[in-house]
């Protein structure tokens, strides 16, 4: 898949102690109701002094806290909010929050090869595994109307079962005949074209056929990134059309099995840079602000969907303007801000990130730097209450692979170890504890027995956590007992 084009909110000024008012409130009250009644005029002046003092104190406090001289225009999503007390609020205890999406190259090769190591590792520490029905390793499932070919998808689903993964299916993309092509043809250059409106019911029937074929799959995301649903003339998403497609699929899946969980809209949460001339949208932070067109798409879907069991999106931490790069450890604050907004806007539906990206295009990051940012981003997911985070695994067949979970030679990368570490130590329901580092550049996420520590700096650092000294290398990610 092609890549799309603050860890901390802006630091608030400390609230200063309110100056004491040199008026004895007890004396004022007793003068009004006690036996030592003062003249009424004197009482008026005392009350006036109290009122004026309160106005002055309130103004001073407002300026100290906000740094503004006028009314606040901040929305709740632009301000720091407390973290959730436990991992994955509203998620069942047996649901693995953490997982990844299979792409064109994966581990569904013959047994006895180099990838046996990865299959064994995944089996020992299972995570969620997501697969699309067409593309990214799966052939056209219905090349002719009513004639199904599930061989490649069967192999992927068998692989997920054999590695004890929790299966998720993304219902994308559509056979060519549903989008204007001839039956029997598959033009992979048109993979990302949406089905035509007259074929929405046909796509829903295909989704139902998939659900009947894989009864162990209980979670479905409908479509991927609004592919093919952008109106070039109006320069906005055709969210009305997508929602009609979603509703047809939702109904078809629930008719197969009411227990199936269905989610959308799987739209890209693209954002603008902090200094964008159009000004910030209502979801914003030091990372920038969401493109209002994406907000419109989510809000329309929320209002007109037939039903939903979760809300799913994806996105990159960096702004859509590729020539502008926001500090990576500020940029990941976008994940928290968007997640909290989604939870609020949806009535607290479980929030899924089907894909999430942190590295600017052609940045050439070192593996330790990339791992540090990924770990810090996962901390943001935990603290903001994400229900599912699926890592898009850009796998290759041979050699090293930047950002991959395993090498082409079948060796696990630190990123796979980290993903499984979060799955082990931060499953749903895990209590989160407030543990801090003595050094600002070191971030900590802790539960009662374990913590993960991230050095966000490009050089070594010494820090103290809970009375213990840690010497961390540049961009080091370390797991530590408590």
pLDDT digits (tens, 9 = 90+) for 287-305: 999 999 999 999 999 999 9
To which residue do tokens 């109904």 refer?
A: 251
Q: Are 265 and 221 in contact (CB under 8 A)?
A: no
Distance, in Å, from the CA atom of 97 to the CA atom of 84, rounded to the nearest integer, reads: 15
Of residues 214, 208, 337, the one with CA closest to residue 271: 337
Model pLDDT for residues 253-295, shown as the tens digit of each residue: 999 999 999 999 999 999 999 999 888 899 999 999 999 999 9
- Strands 450-455 and 477-481 turn out to be antiparallel
Q: What integer pLDDT is reported at residue 158 of this predicted model?
A: 96
Model pLDDT for residues 25-48, shown as the tens digit of each residue: 333 323 333 333 333 334 344 444
Distance, in Å, from the CA atom of 128 to the CA atom of 105, rounded to the nearest integer, reads: 17
Residue 455 tokens, joined: 């050095």
Distance, in Å, from the CA atom of 380 to the CA atom of 251, rounded to the nearest integer, reads: 34
Q: What is the DSSP string of 416-468?
A: HHHHHHHHHHS-TTPBPB---BSSTTEEEEE-SSEEEEEE-SSS-EEEEETTE
pLDDT at 59 over 70: no
Model pLDDT for residues 125-170, shown as the tens digit of each residue: 999 999 999 999 999 999 999 999 999 999 999 999 999 999 999 9
Radius of gyration of the chain (CA): 27
% of the chain exceeding 90 in pLDDT: 75
Q: What integer pLDDT is reported at residue 80 of this predicted model?
A: 54
Of residues 104, 134, 131, the one with CA closest to residue 396: 104
Model pLDDT for residues 103-120, shown as the tens digit of each residue: 999 988 777 777 899 999
Higher pLDDT, 407 or 354: 354
pLDDT-derived band at 81, boundaries 50, 70, 90: low
Model pLDDT for residues 446-464, shown as the tens digit of each residue: 999 999 999 999 999 999 9
Model pLDDT for residues 319-331, shown as the tens digit of each residue: 999 999 999 999 9
The tally of CA atoms less than 13 A away on the side-chain side of residue 423 is 27
């Amino acid at each position: 898949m092609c890549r799309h084009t603050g860890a901390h909110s802006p630091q608030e000024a400390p609230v200063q102690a309110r100056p004491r008012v040199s008026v004895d409130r007890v004396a004022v009250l007793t003068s009004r109701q006690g036996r030592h009644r003062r003249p009424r005029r004197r009482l008026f002046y005392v009350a006036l002094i109290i009122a004026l003092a309160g106005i002055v104190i309130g103004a001073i406090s407002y300026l100290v806290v906000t740094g503004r001289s006028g009314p606040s225009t901040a929305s709740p999503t632009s301000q720091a909010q407390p973290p959730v007390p436990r991992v994955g609020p509203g998620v069942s205890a047996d649901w693995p929050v953490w997982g990844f999406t299979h792409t064109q190259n994966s581990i569904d090769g013959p047994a006895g090869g180099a990838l046996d190591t990865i299959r064994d590792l995944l089996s020992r520490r299972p995570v969620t595994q997501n697969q699309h029905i067409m593309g990214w390793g799966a052939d056209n499932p219905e090349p002719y109307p009513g004639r199904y070919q599930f061989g490649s998808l069967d192999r992927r689903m068998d692989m997920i079962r054999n590695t004890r993964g929790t299966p998720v299916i993304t219902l994308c993309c559509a056979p060519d005949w549903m989008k204007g092509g001839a039956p029997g043809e598959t033009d992979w250059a048109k993979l990302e074209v949406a089905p035509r409106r007259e074929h929405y019911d046909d796509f829903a029937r295909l989704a139902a056929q998939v659900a009947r074929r894989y009864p162990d799959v209980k979670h479905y995301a409908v479509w991927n990134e609004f592919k093919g649903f952008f109106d070039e003339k109006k320069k906005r998403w055709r969210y009305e059309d997508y929602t009609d497609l979603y509703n047809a699929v939702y109904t078809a899946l629930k008719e197969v099995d009411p227990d199936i969980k269905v989610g959308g809209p799987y739209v890209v949460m693209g954002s603008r840079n902090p200094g964008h001339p159009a000004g910030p949208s209502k979801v914003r932070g030091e990372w920038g602000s969401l493109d209002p067109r994406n907000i419109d798409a989510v809000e329309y879907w929320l209002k007109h969907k037939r039903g939903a069991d979760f809300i799913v999106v994806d996105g990159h931490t960096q702004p859509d303007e590729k020539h502008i790069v926001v500090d990576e450890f500020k940029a990941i604050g976008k994940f928290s801000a968007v997640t909290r907004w989604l939870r609020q806007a949806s009535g607290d539906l479980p929030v899924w990130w089907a894909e999430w990206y942190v590295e600017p295009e052609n940045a050439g990051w070192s593996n330790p730097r990339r791992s540090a940012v990924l770990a810090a981003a996962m901390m943001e997911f935990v603290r903001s209450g994400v229900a599912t985070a699926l890592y898009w695994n850009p796998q290759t067949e041979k050699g090293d692979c930047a950002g991959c979970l395993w090498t082409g030679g079948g060796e696990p990368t630190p990123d796979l170890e980290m993903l499984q570490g979060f799955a082990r130590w931060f499953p749903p329901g895990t209590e989160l504890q407030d543990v801090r580092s003595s050094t600002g550049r070191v971030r900590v996420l802790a539960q009662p027995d374990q913590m993960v520590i991230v050095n966000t700096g490009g050089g070594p650092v010494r820090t103290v956590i809970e009375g213990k000294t840690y010497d961390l290398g540049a961009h080091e990610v370390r797991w530590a007992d408590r």
